[in-house]
């Protein structure tokens, strides 16, 4: 299958080029065990290796889109990989191979961050100032928190590992789940510490400020974690966003089209993004999503925007964001939801706009200010401040050339809550947020079970059979077999 063949090539290239990104430092693998982590250059290289996980971990490259958009009401599966269709139809099993890939990649990324956190204080190289030591620690705490935030959203309770594991005896490697509450406590505590250690900026170079964790990135991620945890703390959400907005980094909303045209990365709305450069530092995700006229191939892509999503754009008259996010094109393959015949026009995800033969320089934001503006609106609304909440929503709507919310759209807390969720859907499509939003708003089950999508092969609606148990992914069977202390999530 095209995708599986390509993954082999990707993994080989990652093994060759994995640490050449971000800051152009030599990888720590060049050091020997006897002299590693004694000098400034060595610990900086280890930090680069920790950042590199955003490029090598497949979840961050594009599976976040599959698990957030395809698994939800935003998109259908495509391509020729049965496991992608399992995401779409909510039929993910513990033996789904991609689960173990993501689990392993994320814990590998956490291990890299743990190593930096453990070793930084012991380095006495005079080149490494105390200020830089604290920054490095803050960066590593942010990275570890980002990966644990990903894990807890995907699987709920997971092993909480905050030190590098060097022993192989069962007591060291067979680690049980920590509670969701404890994981969020670790995340938010670490992020508040990181925010106190990190600078607003590292200087005037945007390609550095948007590549590294900053205090703004820590505040933004903390705000998202305080909102996503089982009992949201919306006062803390507001405190974190207020700190973000007071940052000397001066985060602002920019022209929506500029966010995704490929020519305005490292902009003032970006909080942190992966620095894909193209070529050997390229992003393979766009090739999997873009239409033949751009990708240069003629096979069915792995994600197709849904009728329900297109209807949501059209109901709002949201042409600006729709045109920036969706591109229709006639295709030679048969899509069972759009025409069910060759030559039908179908929509394509279009926030990535250049494929460049599996090596695109297109990026996806890890954090951007527009998301946080809508999260601020959510927090204000949940705290009973409806009018200030509507002001924040209107900032996003006006940027999209839409009018202010009507009196009806903000007539009560529950109505405004729905309006904010709709706004997040249109603003953040293809950026890896929809499933999390449905879960946080408590509507994942009802949304999927009320969704009417017609399979044109038999003119029947799809039965998604969504349950509370399906909110979380199953623990990978390979990990259960390896770690006897783990228990399976409800299935």
pLDDT tens, position by position, 150-200 = 999 999 999 999 998 776 677 668 899 999 999 999 999 999 999 999 999
Report the 3 state secondary structure along 98-145: HHHHHHHHHHHHHHHHHHHHHHHHHCCCCCCCHHHHHHHHHHHHHHHH
pLDDT tens, position by position, 216-244 = 999 999 999 999 999 999 999 999 999 99
pLDDT (0 to 100) of residue 128: 96
Instruction: Tell me what the pLDDT averaged over the chain comes to.
Output: 92
Residue 298 φ then ψ, to 5°: -135, 30
Contacts of 166-173 with CB under 8 Å at 24 or more apart are 170/484, 173/482, 173/483
pLDDT (0 to 100) of residue 165: 79
pLDDT (0 to 100) of residue 167: 64
pLDDT (0 to 100) of residue 285: 95
- CA dihedral 7→210→379→255, nearest 10 degrees, is -90
Write out the two tokens for 465.
Answer: 């059979």
pLDDT tens, position by position, 352-363 = 999 999 999 999
Predicted confidence band of residue 27 (pLDDT cuts 50, 70, 90): very low
CA 125 to chain centre: 36
Predicted confidence band of residue 35 (pLDDT cuts 50, 70, 90): low
């Amino acid at each position: 299958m095209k995708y599986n063949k390509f993954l082999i090539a990707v993994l080989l290239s990652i093994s060759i080029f994995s640490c050449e990104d971000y800051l152009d430092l030599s990888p720590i693998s060049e050091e020997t065990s006897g002299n590693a982590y004694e000098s400034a250059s060595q610990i900086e290289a280890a930090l680069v290796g920790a950042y590199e996980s955003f490029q090598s971990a497949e979840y961050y490259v594009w599976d976040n889109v599959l698990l957030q958009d395809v698994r939800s009401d935003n998109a259908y599966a495509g391509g020729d990989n049965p496991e992608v269709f399992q995401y779409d139809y909510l039929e993910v099993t513990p033996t789904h191979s991609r689960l173990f890939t993501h689990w392993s990649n994320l814990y590998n990324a956490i291990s890299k961050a743990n190593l930096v956190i453990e070793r930084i204080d012991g380095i006495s190289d005079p080149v490494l100032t105390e200020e830089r030591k604290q920054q490095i620690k803050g960066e590593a705490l942010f990275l570890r928190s980002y990966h644990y935030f990903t894990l807890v959203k995907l699987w709920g309770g997971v092993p909480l590992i905050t030190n590098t594991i060097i022993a192989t005896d069962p007591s060291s490697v067979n680690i049980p789940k920590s509670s969701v509450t404890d994981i969020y406590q670790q995340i938010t505590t670490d992020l508040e510490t990181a925010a106190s250690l990190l600078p607003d900026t590292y200087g005037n170079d945007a390609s550095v400020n948007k590549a590294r964790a900053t205090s703004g990135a820590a505040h933004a991620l903390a705000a998202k974690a305080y909102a996503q945890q089982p009992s949201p703390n919306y006062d803390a959400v507001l405190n974190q966003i207020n700190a973000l907005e007071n940052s000397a980094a001066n985060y602002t909303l920019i022209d929506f089209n500029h966010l995704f045209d490929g020519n305005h990365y490292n902009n003032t709305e970006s909080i942190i993004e992966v620095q894909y450069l193209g070529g050997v530092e390229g992003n393979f995700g766009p090739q999997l999503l873009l239409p033949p006229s751009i990708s240069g191939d003629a096979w069915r892509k792995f994600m197709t925007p849904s009728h329900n999503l297109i209807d949501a754009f059209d109901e709002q008259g949201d042409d600006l964001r729709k045109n920036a996010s969706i591109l229709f094109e006639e295709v030679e393959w048969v899509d069972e939801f759009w025409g069910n015949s060759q030559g039908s026009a179908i929509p394509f995800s279009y926030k990535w706009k250049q494929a460049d033969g599996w090596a695109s320089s297109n990026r996806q934001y890890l954090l951007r200010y527009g998301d946080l503006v809508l999260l601020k609106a959510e927090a204000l609304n949940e705290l009973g401040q409806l009018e200030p909440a509507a002001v924040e929503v209107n900032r996003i709507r006006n940027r999209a050339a839409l009018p202010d919310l009507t009196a009806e759209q903000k007539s009560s807390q529950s109505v405004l809550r729905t309006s904010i969720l709709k706004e997040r859907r249109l603003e953040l499509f293809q950026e890896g947020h929809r499933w999390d939003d449905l879960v946080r708003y408590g509507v994942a089950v009802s949304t999927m079970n009320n969704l009417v999508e017609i399979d044109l092969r038999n003119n029947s609606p799809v039965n998604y059979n969504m349950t509370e148990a399906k909110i979380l992914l199953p623990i990978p069977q390979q990990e259960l077999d390896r770690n006897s202390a783990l228990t399976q999530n409800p299935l």
